[in-house]
Amino acid sequence: MLAIDVGGTLVRTAVVAGGGVTTDRLATATPDEPWRIDRLVQIATDLHDAALAGGVHPEHLVVAVPGQVDEYHGAVQFSSTLPWHDVAVAD
């Protein structure tokens, strides 16, 4: 599994292998504005590549974002720490 936690000041990522063993962790500064969804896609792609290089073949991606989330549509409706309003994260 790949995990991404988007925060107002840090983006934390982790690769979790079988049995819940975390094989790779990274915390980087949240990008300055404009903080666009394509940056999140790039972070997920880089994390996936790192997992494969480490021999982990992830089947799931979990993204945590601050703010109000419409779980049915997979969208961030509002975030007080990111300039995201009605952003389709699940897509």
Which is more confident, 25 or 57? Answer: 57
**CA 61/CA 76 separation, integer angstroms:** 16
In this model, does residue 77 exceed pLDDT 80?
A: yes
Tokens 């109000």 map to which residue?
Answer: 68
Q: What is the C-alpha end-to-end distance of the chain, expressed in Å?
A: 18
Mean pLDDT of the chain: 85
**What SS3 class is residue 8?**
coil
Q: Are strands 10-16 and 61-64 parallel, antiparallel or unpaired?
A: unpaired
Query: What is the rounded average pLDDT of the residues 46-57?
Result: 91
Q: What is the pLDDT of residue 27?
A: 83
